[in-house]
């Protein structure tokens, strides 16, 4: 699929901000599943951008506004070609116990993705779920699908029910949240079971899906979306979307990744000023018209 994406992030201040220092993780990396054909980041007020690669391999654009400004607008323009990639069936048929044993020889490479973080604590509820869905004798793919489905059925997607600072414990109790929370819950269970896994931030095709004669949109397609990747034998990352109970495919565009939302956040910054600020986010994602042969 050929997607044209426009991602607007706008900061509005009650009073002028004196300074702003921003990191933008908005540059997708090419892979076997996606090819970036156009990319541009537009900032208003106009400033110079400096690029560097962070610890997890994301390309980061850094910029600063060391002067007073009344608003800040960041627009990510992107065109990307995506293709469906076959799942590694042999890897997914490996038992979870054998998978954990295989990780032993590469643990130094994936250690960060089995540790807890402030946003993804381990244990408690996650232990019960890990024992139920990720038993050692179960094939990896079967266990991942069962867990993905269970999170989708148990937790209710409700916009505005949580914020970026809502503890995972609260999400477990209220059984509702947004895609970020679904991903954090799944990561907690996977890591509790000893399976290296990472948080993915990206975009999701908003076009309706037709199943059984009915059309509906995938949940989470009106803004940036979040899902999970799990390391399978062969050092292959496989992606699942617990918010929509599906394997990720050509309708998902990966932008950044890390241990949790904090690592992969599209925009992260520090502001100085006397007033408060509001942030507006809008994502427009359109399929380009197919060329006629």
pLDDT tier, 211 (very low <50, low <70, confident <90, very high otherwise)? low
Q: What is the pLDDT of residue 192?
A: 97
pLDDT digits (tens, 9 = 90+) for 9-22: 999 888 888 889 99
Q: What is the pLDDT of residue 214?
A: 75
155-180 per-residue burial string, b: 16 or more CB within 10 A, e: under 16: bebeeebbeeebebeebbeeebbbbb
Q: What is the pLDDT of residue 238?
A: 97
Query: What are the chain's domains?
Result: 2-82+266-287 (2.60.40.2250), 89-264 (3.10.620.30)
Q: Which residues contact 155 (CB under 8 A, 6 or more apart)?
A: 171, 175, 176, 177, 181, 182, 185
Q: What is the pLDDT of residue 216?
A: 80
Mean pLDDT of the region 267-273: 86
pLDDT tier, 289 (very low <50, low <70, confident <90, very high otherwise)? confident
Q: What is the pLDDT of residue 109?
A: 87
How far is residue 5's CA from residue 23's CA, in Å, rounded to a whole number?
20
Q: What is the pLDDT of residue 293?
A: 38
Q: What is the pLDDT of residue 212?
A: 65
Structure tokens at 255: 């932008």
pLDDT digits (tens, 9 = 90+) for 143-154: 999 999 999 999
Q: Is pLDDT above 60 for 201?
A: yes
pLDDT tier, 174 (very low <50, low <70, confident <90, very high otherwise)? very high
pLDDT digits (tens, 9 = 90+) for 28-54: 988 889 999 999 999 999 999 999 999
**What is the rounded average pLDDT for all residues in the chain?**
92
Nearest to 265 by CA among 278, 281, 241: 281
Q: Is pLDDT above 80 for 168?
A: yes
Flag the least confident range among 78-92, 96-110, 213-227.
Answer: 213-227
pLDDT tier, 278 (very low <50, low <70, confident <90, very high otherwise)? confident
Look at residue 144 and give its three-state secondary structure: helix
């Amino acid at each position: 699929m050929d997607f044209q994406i426009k991602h607007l992030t706008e900061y509005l201040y009650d009073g002028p901000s004196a300074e702003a220092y921003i990191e933008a993780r908005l540059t997708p990396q090419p892979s076997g599943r996606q090819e970036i054909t156009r990319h541009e980041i537009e900032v208003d007020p106009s400033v110079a951008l400096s690029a560097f690669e962070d610890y997890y391999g994301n390309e980061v654009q850094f910029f600063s506004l060391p002067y007073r400004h009344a608003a800040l607008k960041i627009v990510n323009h992107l065109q990307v070609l995506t293709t469906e990639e076959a799942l590694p069936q042999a890897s997914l048929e490996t038992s979870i116990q054998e998978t954990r044993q295989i990780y032993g020889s590469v643990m130094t490479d994936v250690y960060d993705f089995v540790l807890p973080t402030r946003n993804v604590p381990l244990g408690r509820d996650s232990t019960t779920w890990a024992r139920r869905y990720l038993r050692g004798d179960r094939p990896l793919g079967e266990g991942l699908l069962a867990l993905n489905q269970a999170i989708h059925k148990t937790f209710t997607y409700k916009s505005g029910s949580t914020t970026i600072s809502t503890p995972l414990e609260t999400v477990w109790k209220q059984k509702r949240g947004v895609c970020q929370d679904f991903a954090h819950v799944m990561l907690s269970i996977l890591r509790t079971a000893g399976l290296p896994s990472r948080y993915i931030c990206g975009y999701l095709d908003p076009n309706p899906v037709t199943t059984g004669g009915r059309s509906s949109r995938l949940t989470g397609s009106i803004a940036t979306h979040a899902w999970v990747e799990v390391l399978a034998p062969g050092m292959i990352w496989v992606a699942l979307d617990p918010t929509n109970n599906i394997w990720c495919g050509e309708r998902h565009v990966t932008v950044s990744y890390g241990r949790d939302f904090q690592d992969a956040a599209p925009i992260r910054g520090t502001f100085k000023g006397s007033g408060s600020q509001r942030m507006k986010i809008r994502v427009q994602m359109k399929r380009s018209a197919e060329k006629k042969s």
